[in-house]
Every structure is written in structure tokens, then in C-alpha cells.
């Protein structure tokens, strides 16, 4: 069993399988179609992630006796040979889409099934007149603990170097029909089921994830760090943008103090916690300590004041979950949301900003992960995916779990900052200048951390039982939070505890459809970081929804 509290970038060696354990191919005719089980290509095939998925052996009883490390030269030789085989197949119009593992029991009785060995597979490919399209559906998987493992091949004593079938998988149907775009209606809105065949990606089985936990990081991972740092620098706000934000805040203060002399304005959210990207809007909290107040009336009055100062697009949204006034400043081009007495958000912003000041790698990781999430379309709570705030907490939690740890748990330390907001006690250590060298023992680069972050959420995290908790600096159980069942519209499929509002699960918006999307995207990102020759480009390729003509 892996330890959820220790994530190593250099786990034990890969699982090996001897060619003598290989399964033959299985072919059969069904309804005029030729159906066969797929040839498994080792996971080192990094040239085209869309064309295939790594496959692993299921004969676990033989794993121990067959474990033996390959030299770098042998691995490279096998990898090149396998990519040549894929390129030859693609040149003949064949496209590989590998799916989940199946425990194959051989040909059914009274069928037209016959077996051939992998060494003869290429001869049969020549006779196939169709394109290979995977149409079999994955079996329903219980959302639970998953993992990762490496795969390699022991050196064959013969010179034939047959590509042996490591594990029988979903049948590949040879068909001219185009794949269908799956739609699912849920919670009164239509959502695209994004596990479409055009992406060629599916959530791995539990067995496959358990093997991928053993995966070692690529040897050249640190060489990609400068590319990711360049991306990070291009996304961070310039000093000019920060100055414009200050100018807008000062202008708003002059207007508001005339009406409410004792009021204060506080920046909060991404523009203030240091995790904001360039050209982001700003969030402002108007703090009024005049006893009992009517927030709706204040917002309406505030909107009148702002409109009189020629600010644009002024709207008072009094019925929103958090009532706000929206506006745009024509002088700076900055959009702004103003709320009333949302002090907890201001305290939360201070906590996150303190974490960002301990180690610069946190800010790098957060901004890059948020950029990835936006590019891949998994950063929209209205569509059932995660908010930017949720990704910030996921990154902090991840760096708290690194060994050696990169971030401490500020709420578990002796508090130097304490305040009670709406009955919630907020206390944490805020003298972070004393923690500047806390994570210096851990020398992982941003490229290594990105690989480990996506690997953690793809293969290590126990979605069925675990809640990530920045407040405790570790993992707590769903049972302890009573998050094991759905309550109202709250679904607890990926659990992210708010550090102050302990009953608030940031992952509650994720449903049974979008949890699959999230996990697919984590796996895709982990594979790109592990195998792709240019991960800093491929990682951020925008997700494009299938066009209607392909549905």
C-alpha cells in the first residue's frame, strides 16, 4: 500500500513481464465485423498519446520473479522499435485506441474465434480494409483508490523481438462508422460526455493505476523547467497592471468615504493572494462596521454613486449568492466586483498570500495549473468542474505532502493572527518571514512538481475515502466529515475542505459525469509530463469540443 502522506518522485522499479507469458491475439467475426483484442504497446510510447494508452500485465503471481531492470540502451531500443511499428500501422490507415483491461478467458464456445500470435499480427493487419475505431464501453468503475506503475520488457534471448501482448483489453472494432458524441442530461442542463473517442483517453482501471504508482519520473524532467518558468512569467501581472489596480482602488475609496466615512476597502481573491494571472479582474470588499445593515440597500446606493462618477457597466446583483456591484473603469480597463462585509474572504486571502510568501514554487505551480485547467475546460463551477480557489488549495495540500515538505501547515502552528468572523474562529501563524527556508531541503524543480502533481491526482489520491485538508496539512476521511453520501445538491466525489468553513466542500459541484472528465484530464496531463517530447506545449493544448457533424 502506498502512503497518502508521502509522495516520492523516485518510487521502486517497474514491473516486468517475460515474453513467454504473452497472450495471443484474439480475432472473431461478429455481425459482419472483424473484432479482435488489441496488441499492447509499452508505456514508453510517447510519440502520440492520442493513438494509444499504456497497458500492463495482469498475471500478478509472476510479477516478483520477472522483475529485472533494463539498461537505458535496451529501453531506448525497444521504444524506437515500438514507435516504428505504430508509424507503419498508421501509414496503412490503422489507428489504435486502447481502453481498459479485461480478464480474457479465451474464445467462447461455438464462435468463429481463432488465435494468432503477436509475431504474426502484422500479416493480418495488411488484410484489414477498415480503420480501427474503439467502440466498446468501459465497465463501470467504482471511484476509489487508484495508482500507477511502470512497465518494461525483459530482453528476449531470441532475435525475433516480437511485440508480445501484455494484457488483453477492450476489443477493437473495425468499422467505417464515425464515433458518436455522447450527451448526458443532468441537473436540468445538457452536458457533453467528454470521454469521446476523438480524444482516445479513458480513466484507467484500478489495477492499471496501482501499477502506475510505481512509475519513475523521466530522466530529463528537469530540462523542461526553464520552459515552464517562461510560461509562468508570461502569465503573471506586470508592475503596470498592479499600479492600475491600486489607482482604481484609490479612486473607489474617495467616492465611498464620502457616503460611509468609517468604511474600509479590502482587496481579496486572486488579485490580492498573489495567484492572479495577468489581465484578471479585481475583487473588493467594502467593510462597514455600522451595526446591523441592509446589504441590498447599501449595494443599490453604491451603484448610484458609482454611476454618477462615469464608471461603466455598473450593475447591482442583490440576489446573487454573494451580492455584489459590478463595474468597469474606462480609465484603466479593469473590471471590478464589490461586495459588502465579506470579511471571511479577506481573511482567507491573507492565509493564501502567507503561503505564497514561504516558497516561490507554490505561486509557479498554482498559476501554471490554473492555466492548464482553463485551457482544458475544467475550471468552471457552473459546468460542474473546479474553481480557481479549489486548484489553489489542491496545490498547497500537495506541497504540504511532499517529502521533504515544501510548505508547512500554518493553521497547526502556534497562531500569531486570530480573528472571529461570523462565529468562525480563524487562527494561523502569519510571521512567514521566519519560514523563508522551510522548503529549501526539497530541491524539486517546477517541472518535477508538475509531473508529481498530476501523477498524484491521476493515480495516488483516494477519491472514495479521502478529503484533502490544508487546515490539518494532510488527509482526513470522508466519514469524519460525513461526506460519504449526497446531501441535497452536494456531491462529494472529490473532497476539498475549506480551511475556515469546515462544512464547505469545494468539490461539491462535481457530479458523476464531470468527475470522470477531471480524472481523464489529470491522467492525460500526467502522461504528457511523463512521455511527451515537448510537454510545455502539449499540456496546454485547448480542449476542442467535437463539431456537430461528427456527432
Report the alpha-carbon distance of residue 495 to residue 464 in Å, rounded: 9
Q: Which CATH number fits domain 233-546: 3.40.30.10, 1.10.1410.10, 3.20.20.70, 1.10.3720.10?
A: 1.10.1410.10
pLDDT at residue number 85: 52
pLDDT at residue number 214: 73
Q: How is 389-453 classified by DSSP, letter by letter?
A: HHHHHHHHHHHHHBSS-SS--GGGSPPSEEEEETTEEEEE---GGGGTTTTTT----HHHHHHHH
Under 8 Å between Cβ of 61 and 16: no
pLDDT at residue number 530: 94
Phi, psi of 335 (to 5 degrees): -90, 150
Report the alpha-carbon distance of residue 317 to residue 11 in Å, rounded: 52
pLDDT at residue number 479: 94
- The C-alpha angle with vertex 493 and arms to 490 and 494, in degrees rounded to 5, equals 105
Under 8 Å between Cβ of 161 and 155: no
Under 8 Å between Cβ of 34 and 175: no
Numbered ranges of CATH 1.10.1410.10 in the chain: 233-546
Omega prior to 282 cis, within 30 of 0:
no
Report the alpha-carbon distance of residue 227 to residue 207 in Å, rounded: 34
Nearest residue to 391 (alpha-carbon basis) of 468, 281, 481: 468
pLDDT at residue number 90: 54
Q: How is 512-537 classified by DSSP, letter by letter?
A: TTHHHHHHHHHHHHHHHHHH-S-HHH
pLDDT at residue number 116: 39
CB atoms within 10 A of CB 440: 10
The SS3 of residue 294 is: coil
Report the alpha-carbon distance of residue 476 to residue 480 in Å, rounded: 7
pLDDT at residue number 191: 40
The SS3 of residue 490 is: strand
pLDDT at residue number 54: 36
> Within 13 Å of residue 217, how many CA atoms lie on the same side as its CB?
22
C-alpha cell at 534: 515537448
Task: Return the beta strands (E) in 166-272 as ranges.
Answer: 171-174, 182-186, 189-193, 264-268
Report the alpha-carbon distance of residue 201 to residue 50 in Å, rounded: 7
Report the alpha-carbon distance of residue 548 to residue 551 in Å, rounded: 5
Residues in the chain, total? 551
C-alpha cell at 277: 494571472
Per-residue H/E/C for 33-48: EEEEECCCCCCCCCCC
Nearest residue to 448 (alpha-carbon basis) of 5, 12, 7: 7
Burial state string for 170-190 with b = 16 or more CB within 10 A and e = fewer than 16: bbbbbbeeebebbeeeeeeee
Report the alpha-carbon distance of residue 438 to residue 511 in Å, rounded: 37
Report the alpha-carbon distance of residue 342 to residue 87 in Å, rounded: 58
Q: Identify the residue whose cell numbers are 443532468.
A: 186
Tens of pLDDT along the chain (551 residues) come to 444 344 444 443 333 334 333 333 343 444 444 443 433 333 333 333 333 333 333 334 344 434 444 444 444 544 555 555 555 545 544 443 333 333 334 444 444 444 334 334 344 434 433 333 333 333 333 333 333 333 333 334 333 333 333 332 333 333 333 333 333 333 333 344 344 433 445 667 767 766 677 778 899 999 999 999 999 999 999 888 989 999 999 999 999 999 999 899 999 999 999 999 887 789 999 999 877 788 889 999 999 999 888 789 999 998 888 899 999 999 888 999 999 999 999 999 999 999 999 999 999 999 999 999 999 999 999 999 999 999 999 999 999 999 999 999 999 999 999 999 999 999 999 999 999 999 999 999 999 999 999 999 999 999 999 999 999 999 999 999 999 887 776 689 999 999 999 999 999 999 999 999 999 999 999 999 999 999 999 999 999 877 655 54
- The C-alpha angle with vertex 165 and arms to 67 and 47, in degrees rounded to 5, equals 90
pLDDT at residue number 549: 58
Q: Identify the residue whose cell numbers are 467502440.
A: 135
Under 8 Å between Cβ of 116 and 427: no
Single pTM value for the model: 0.65
The SS3 of residue 324 is: strand
Amino acid at each position: 500500500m502506498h502512503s497518502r502522506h508521502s509522495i516520492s518522485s523516485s518510487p521502486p522499479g517497474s514491473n516486468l513481464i517475460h515474453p513467454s507469458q504473452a497472450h495471443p491475439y484474439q480475432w472473431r467475426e461478429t455481425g459482419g465485423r472483424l473484432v479482435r483484442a488489441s496488441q499492447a504497446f509499452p508505456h514508453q510510447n510517447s510519440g502520440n498519446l492520442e493513438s494509444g494508452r499504456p497497458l500492463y500485465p495482469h498475471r500478478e503471481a509472476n510479477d516478483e520473479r520477472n522483475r529485472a531492470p533494463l539498461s537505458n540502451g535496451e529501453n531506448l531500443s525497444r521504444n524506437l522499435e515500438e514507435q516504428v511499428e505504430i508509424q507503419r500501422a498508421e501509414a496503412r490507415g490503422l489507428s489504435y485506441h486502447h481502453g481498459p483491461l479485461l480478464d480474457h478467458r479465451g474464445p467462447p464456445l461455438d464462435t468463429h474465434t481463432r488465435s494468432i500470435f503477436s509475431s504474426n499480427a502484422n500479416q493480418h493487419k495488411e488484410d484489414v480494409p477498415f480503420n480501427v475505431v474503439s467502440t466498446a464501453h468501459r465497465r463501470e468503475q467504482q471511484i476509489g483508490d487508484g495508482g500507477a506503475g511502470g512497465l518494461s520488457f525483459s530482453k528476449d534471448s531470441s532475435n525475433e523481438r516480437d511485440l508480445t501482448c501484455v494484457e488483453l483489453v477492450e476489443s477493437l472494432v473495425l468499422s467505417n462508422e464515425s464515433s458518436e458524441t455522447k450527451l448526458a442530461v443532468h441537473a436540468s442542463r445538457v452536458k457533453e460526455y467528454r470521454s469521446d473517442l476523438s480524444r482516445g483517453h479513458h480513466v484507467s482501471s484500478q489495477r492499471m493505476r496501482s501499477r502506475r504508482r510505481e512509475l519513475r519520473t523521466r530522466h530529463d524532467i528537469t530540462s523542461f523547467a526553464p520552459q515552464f518558468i517562461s510560461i509562468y512569467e508570461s502569465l503573471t501581472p506586470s508592475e503596470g497592471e498592479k499600479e492600475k489596480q491600486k489607482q482604481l482602488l484609490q479612486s473607489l475609496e474617495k467616492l465611498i468615504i464620502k457616503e460611509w466615512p468609517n468604511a474600509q476597502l479590502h482587496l481579496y481573491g486572486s488579485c490580492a493572494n498573489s495567484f492572479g494571472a495577468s489581465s484578471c479582474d479585481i475583487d473588493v470588499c467594502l467593510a462597514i462596521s455600522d451595526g446591523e445593515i441592509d446589504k441590498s440597500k447599501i449595494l443599490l446606493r453604491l451603484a448610484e454613486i458609482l454611476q454618477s462618477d462615469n464608471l461603466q457597466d455598473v450593475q447591482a446583483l442583490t440576489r446573487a449568492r454573494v451580492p455584489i456591484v459590478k463595474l468597469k473603469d474606462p480609465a484603466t480597463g479593469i473590471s471590478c466586483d464589490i461586495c459588502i462585509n465579506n470579511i471571511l474572504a479577506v481573511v482567507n486571502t491573507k492565509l493564501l498570500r502567507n503561503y505564497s510568501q514561504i516558497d516561490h514554487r507554490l505561486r509557479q505551480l498554482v498559476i501554471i495549473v490554473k492555466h492548464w485547467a482553463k485551457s482544458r475546460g475544467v475550471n468552471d463551477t457552473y459546468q460542474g468542474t473546479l474553481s480557481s480557489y479549489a486548484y489553489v488549495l489542491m496545490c498547497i495540500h500537495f506541497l504540504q505532502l511532499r517529502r521533504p515538505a515544501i510548505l508547512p501547515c500554518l493553521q497547526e502552528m502556534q497562531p500569531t493572527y486570530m480573528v472571529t468572523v461570523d462565529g468562525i474562529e480563524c487562527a494561523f501563524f502569519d510571521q512567514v518571514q521566519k519560514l523563508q527556508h522551510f522548503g529549501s531541503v526539497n530541491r524539486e524543480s517546477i517541472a518535477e512538481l508538475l509531473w508529481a502533481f498530476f501523477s498524484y491526482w491521476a493515480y495516488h489520491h483516494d477519491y472514495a475515502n479521502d478529503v484533502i485538508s490544508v487546515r490539518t496539512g494532510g488527509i482526513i476521511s470522508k466519514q469524519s466529515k460525513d461526506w460519504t453520501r449526497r446531501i441535497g445538491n452536494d456531491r462529494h466525489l472529490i473532497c476539498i475542505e475549506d480551511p475556515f468553513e469546515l462544512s464547505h466542500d469545494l468539490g461539491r459541484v462535481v457530479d458523476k459525469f464531470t468527475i470522470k472528465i477531471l480524472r481523464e484530464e489529470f491522467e492525460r496531463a500526467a502522461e504528457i509530463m511523463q512521455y511527451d517530447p515537448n510537454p510545455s506545449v502539449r499540456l496546454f493544448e485547448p480542449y476542442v469540443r467535437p463539431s456537430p457533424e461528427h456527432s
